[in-house]
Amino acid sequence: MTRVLAADAAGIAEAAVLLREGRLVAFPTETVYGLGAVATDDRAVAQIFAAKERPRFNPLIIHVSDSKAAFRLGCCDDRAHALAAAFWPGPLTLVLPAAANCPVSLLARAGLDTVAVRVPAHPLAQALLAAAGLPVAAPSANRSGHVSPTTAAHVLDDLAGRIDAVLDGGPCPLGVESTVLDLSDESAALLRPGGVTVEAIEAVIGPITPPRQANESAPRSPGRLTSHYAPSLPLRLNALSIAPDEALLAFGPSPPPAALAINLSPKGDLTEAAAQFYAALRALDAEARQRGLTRIAVMPIPARGLGLALADRLRRAAAPRCPSALDGG
């Protein structure tokens, strides 16, 4: 049984107790719901991988309540300090060299000598981390390869019966995952575009290295394998006209006619589109399948600002599926 905990003092306290007992608790962040376990507890971390059916070589983001706690886990330099001051709490994950005495489970780090840390801004995430008083490993609370959850109901769709509780904080305000930036060597490398835009990061630390192509070998971020974040129907990107057997994921004021469509933002606003994105993909996928449609056509979305994160997730969702599911989730 998975309990649904209310977003009040009692719910937060209960969630913190469960975490400290080594159990799995999903909780809202400003980006998507995370599936939390105490990051220093190997057994609890192992349960995350089991519940998600996540490949073990894909490391987890460690969530802490402030930058002081983050820099106890990873070694910070001037860039990390500047970025933390500018964007934490918020949707930015920094990959840092692990501190010599880093207490984070090696399983959560997938055996790497780096650690990914983030200070989430969502008030419930903040309250939970403060109450738990320990670093919390939390991947997105979906089964590996599925679309990320932005409501407690999405979490239950994928993980009911597999986790102990979900703290229900309503829809996540931002809707796409954090930006993952690798600061483990001199070149700051973008591993995953996300909630903090490249433009905003470059305004603080100067030019960063763009993401490597996901199909290149030995990606620095193991989660960046191509097939990822996929709905069950195939996707066709940059669609300007719609076939009769297609549903439409639209963007902007003048979508082509389609029998079934969801518009991410009729006014063409990328922030609004990001907030709707995963919920729209889930809803369109379910409804299209029910109506016997065979594909989701997606209109072009401008690849700037938050649109870069959306374009990245769409490219992964449209990539050929690999049955051995070497994706990260």
Q: Which residues bind ligand TXA (CB under 6 A)?
A: 29, 31-32, 34, 58-61, 91, 93, 95, 109, 112, 114-116, 118, 120, 138-140, 177-178, 180, 191-192, 220-224, 328-329
CA distance 92 to 260: 35
Query: What token pair was written down for 85?
Result: 């001051």
Q: In the complex with Mg ion, which residue's Cβ is closer, 79 or 192?
A: 192
Q: 240: burial class by Cβ within 10 Å (0-12, 13-18, 19+)?
A: exposed
**Residue for token pair 């600061």:** 183
Length of the chain (residues): 329
Who's near 108: CB < 8 A, 6+ residues apart? 39, 45, 59, 60, 62, 137
Please state the closest distance from residue 116 (CB atom) to Mg ion, in A.
12
Taking the least distance from each CB to ligand TXA, the nearer of 138 and 242 is 138
Residue 65 partner contact from Mg ion, ligand TXA, none using kind-dependent CB cut-offs of 5 to 8 Å? none
Supply the minimum distance, in Å, between the C-beta of residue 187 and ligand TXA: 14
Q: How far is the CB of 32 from Mg ion (least distance, A)?
A: 7
Rounded to whole angstroms, the Cα distance separating 109 from 73 reads 11
95 is in the binding site of which of ligand TXA, Mg ion, none (Cβ under 5 to 8 A by kind)?
ligand TXA
> Which residue of the chain is nearest ligand TXA when measured via CB?
223
Strands (E) located in the chain: 3-6, 25-27, 34-38, 61-63, 92-97, 114-118, 136-137, 165-168, 179-182, 189-192, 235-236, 246-250, 261-263, 295-298
Alpha carbons 214 and 224: distance in angstroms, whole number: 6
Burial class (CB in 10 A: 0-12, 13-18, 19+), 252: middle
Residue 116, contacted partner among Mg ion, ligand TXA, none, CB below 5-8 A by kind: ligand TXA
Residue 212 CB: number of other CB atoms within 10 A? 16
Which DSSP letter does residue 39 get?
T
Residue 60 CB, nearest approach to ligand TXA (Å): 5
Residue closer to ligand TXA by CB (options 119, 247) is 119
40 touches Mg ion (CB under 5 A)? no
Q: In the complex, what is the shortest distance from the CB of residue 219 to Mg ion, in angstroms, rounded to a whole number? A: 15
Both structure tokens of 321: 């599926």
Q: Which does 58 bind (CB under 5 to 8 A by kind): ligand TXA, Mg ion, none?
A: ligand TXA
Amino acid of residue 19: L
Smaller CB separation from ligand TXA, 109 or 263: 109
CB atoms within 10 A of CB 66: 14
Contacts with Mg ion: how many residues (CB under 5 A)?
2
Binding mask 112-151 for Mg ion (x = CB under 5 A): ----------------------------x-----------
Q: How far is the CB of 87 from Mg ion (least distance, A)?
A: 20
With respect to Mg ion, which residue has the nearer C-beta, 59 or 329?
Answer: 329
Q: Which is nearer to ligand TXA, 23 or 109 (CB)?
A: 109
Q: Could you give the angle at which helices 270-290 and 306-318 cross, rounded to 10 degrees?
A: 20
> Which tokens hold the place of 240?
């300007």
For the bound state, the minimum distance from the C-beta of residue 296 to ligand TXA, rounded and expressed in Å, comes to: 22
Out of Mg ion, ligand TXA, none, what residue 155 binds, judged by CB under 5 to 8 A for its kind, is: none
State in angstroms the smallest separation of the CB of 88 from ligand TXA.
12
Binding site for Mg ion (CB under 5 A): 140, 329
